[in-house]
Chains A and B, each alone.
Chain A
Amino acid sequence: MTEHVATNETILVVGGGISGMTAALEAAETGKNVVLVEKNPALGGRTSQLYRYFPKLCHPTCGLEINLRRLKGNPRVRVLTLAEVTGIEGSTGNYTASIKIKPRYVNENCTACGDCERAVETMVDDPFNYNLGQHKAAFLPNAMAYPQRYVLDPVIIGTPDAEKAKAACKYGAVDLDMQEETIQVKAGAVVWATGWQPYDAAKIQPYGYGRFKNVITSVEFERLADIHGPTGGKILRPSDGKEAKNIAFIQCAGSRDENHLRHCSRICCMASLKQTHYVREKFPEDGKSTIYYIDIRAIDRFEDFYQKVQADPSVSFIKSKVAKITEDAQGNPVCHGVDTEGYKRYMTPHDLVVLAVGMEPSVKGINIPGHIVADSSGFIEADPANGAVFGAGCASNALDVNRAVQSATAAALRAIQVVNKVAKAEA
């Protein structure tokens, strides 16, 4: 895979989430050669970590599968996983990227049979489940991982566990001698689609994330609801494994806050409205959701989605940003604040509090050439000064899946125009 020859007519796509996959495929389907770089062992990014997505509440596996089918059938896209861009040099039409590729310790012979996983005993944290659970140190990153190939966690290399994995493999796929390598890739244009990361909720000190076990983030809640998640799709609270039926959602946890993220993260209102559906789905009789909000921003044309949730008697809305969370003797998180509608104080215990954390761009600490113009929140701006480095998806703005795909298609089009010029195909 690494011997692939890239030229300055190649488009480099950094990030293999929904935006990066889209940009890569859109460009490849017009006949361009694309190198798609993903730092995780599998494609799909944060979209693959969702249980369902709004507004139709279908499973992300569906949308991702369509993209994976396109990808498998397209020889023009070269996928590099466990790979990170460490630097880019050059200018429009002539970039050279340094890409560091970490060893996977499993080669192309892997059939994903799972024998190595059964042989290995060491357990490690599972980042796919936001470390809510653990998995074996020989693992498939997730159920629909692409490439469908196992990975050995570096912690077992040099231990008897690694030898066990090697011995268990019938196909000679485990290669313990793989080394980290850095390769140079040429490209005419770069699509930067490194996505987002959930804002570090521990920084919102009064909410007690990290101190109170039953205060979790919205992304963690997605994993609790997912059948492939650490609880097998049951909403159980972390402190005692009790079913969490009375759930509070706190909006703007980190967003729209000059002390944290100054932008509106856009997706969180819709995400919490969506998550109230999970509560009703799992506990149709006695599930109860409470949304604490400043104002509901059902972005795009989703006001009807909001109205349907409003009509649901199991969901209540409290117009107030929670000021602080404490914990009572039973381990229930208690929300304190003042309701803006009537200015009444409340102190309300819940089984579980879900912080609708904001989106922070992951464009950090990477040596992108020149002066990449970013806005005050760190999202890449569409600016001529950026040359042929184009932001796409959540690297460029706080976007939902739908809009991220639109943004990625736009970025692909810009990149195509650049390499066409390089090829003298366009004036």
Chain B
Amino acid sequence: MSANTAMAEKYRNNFLKEIEDQVEMGDWVKMCMQCGVCSGSCPTNFQSAWEHPPQELFMMIRAGKREEVLTTSSMWNCTSCYNCIVRCPRKLPITHIMHGIAEYAHRLGMAPKMQPTRFFSGLFWKNCTHTGRVNELKLSLGLYFKDGFAQGVKNGMAMQTVALGLLKAKRLNPFELFGGHKCKDQKGIQAMLKKAYEIERSRKTAKMAG
């Protein structure tokens, strides 16, 4: 280790080290030069939900603002458009880092519970791993009723014409509500996923343990 690297290591704060170790592609965070092209290129940036644009998140990580970074909903708003990756002058895989930080916050249980992207991701995963097939009816209904029964009915009414159109075009089968279609080898899928969970869990536990 050169004197320079040693010195840089000394001043690298714990949270940056934590992100580098735990977050997928997290070791890129230190490469950001704060030019702001990612934030300026982000299509979601004109929505109020983007509390902290990517360059700010990177700066917050380097400033050791652990609580603020892990509990914000900002990185959950990433739509994976890849504009930032394409334009980043330092070639940071920003989209992947956003997903990485979100996943880490989720793993720690610090991510905002009812953030729609996080809620939908959970719902989608449960839905498709249950039978090995995506049940679109159950998935959309689950999302409609996310914020309670009354809001769910309201959402349903708002989407009525779309639903009727889908019915007419035979793109929506109301009987899917009862069980729904499955893949051929449901047990095989379950076993495969169980093994995958096991491998991932042991890998992440090892990482968390340092």
Contact = CB atoms under 8 A, between A and B. Distances in A.
A23 interface: no
Interface in B36-50: 36-37, 39-41, 45-46
Contact of B40 (A252, A257, A322): A322
Given A258-B91, A338-B53, A252 B35 contact: yes
A336 B91 CA distance: 20
B40 A259 contact: no
Interface string B62-91: 000000000000000000000000111111
A340 B34 contact: yes
A259 B88 CA distance: 8
Given A252-B35, A322-B40, A345 B46 contact: yes
Contacts of A294: 33-35
Interface in A319-352: 319-324, 336-340, 343, 345
Given A206-B41, A340-B55, A343-B52, 20 more contacts: A252-B89, A258-B88, A258-B90, A260-B89, A294-B35, A320-B35, A321-B37, A323-B87, A337-B39, A337-B40, A338-B39, A338-B53, A339-B36, A340-B34, A340-B35, A340-B36, A343-B53, A345-B39, A345-B40, A345-B45
Interface string A174-214: 00000000000000000000000000000000100000000
Contacts of A260: 89
| Residue of B35, B39, B45, B89 contacting most chain A CB atoms (<10 Å) | B35
B56 interface: yes
A259 B89 CA distance: 6
A256 B36 CA distance: 14
B89 A338 contact: no
A345 B48 CA distance: 12
A336 B90 CA distance: 20
Contacts of A340: 34-36, 55
B97 to A, nearest CB: 16
Interface of A: 206, 252, 256-260, 294, 319-324, 336-340, 343, 345
A339 B39 CA distance: 9
Contacts of A258: 88-91
Nearest to A293: B35
10 contacts: A259-B89, A320-B36, A321-B36, A323-B87, A337-B40, A340-B35, A340-B36, A340-B55, A343-B55, A345-B39
Interface residues of B, number: 20
Contacts of A345: 39-40, 45-46
A206 B53 CA distance: 19
A324 B41 contact: yes
Nearest to A254: B89
A256 B55 contact: no
A320 B34 CA distance: 8
Contacts of A252: 35, 89
Contacts of B90: 258
A343 B35 CA distance: 11
B17 to A, nearest CB: 24
Given A320-B35, A337-B36, A338-B53, A206 B87 contact: yes
A321 B55 CA distance: 12
Contacts of B53: 338, 343
B35 A259 contact: no
Contacts of B56: 343
A258, A259, A340: which has the most chain B beta carbons within 10 Å? Answer: A340
A336 B39 CA distance: 10
A252 B88 CA distance: 13
A291 to B, nearest CB: 14
Contacts of B41: 206, 323-324
Contacts of B34: 294, 340
Contacts of B55: 338, 340, 343
A345 B45 CA distance: 8
Interface in B69-121: 86-91
A323 B45 CA distance: 12
A206 B43 CA distance: 14
A323 B33 contact: no
A321 B45 contact: no
Nearest to B41: A323
A184 to B, nearest CB: 45
Nearest to B90: A258
A322 B35 CA distance: 8
A338 B91 contact: no
The 4 closest A-B pairs by CB, nearest first: A323-B40, A337-B40, A338-B39, A257-B89
A258 B86 CA distance: 10
A322 B89 CA distance: 12
A407 B88 CA distance: 33
A323 B89 contact: no
B37 A337 contact: yes
A344 B139 CA distance: 37
A322 B37 CA distance: 6
A257 B88 CA distance: 8
B40 A320 contact: yes
A257 B34 CA distance: 13
Contacts of A336: 40
Contacts of A338: 36, 39-40, 45, 53, 55
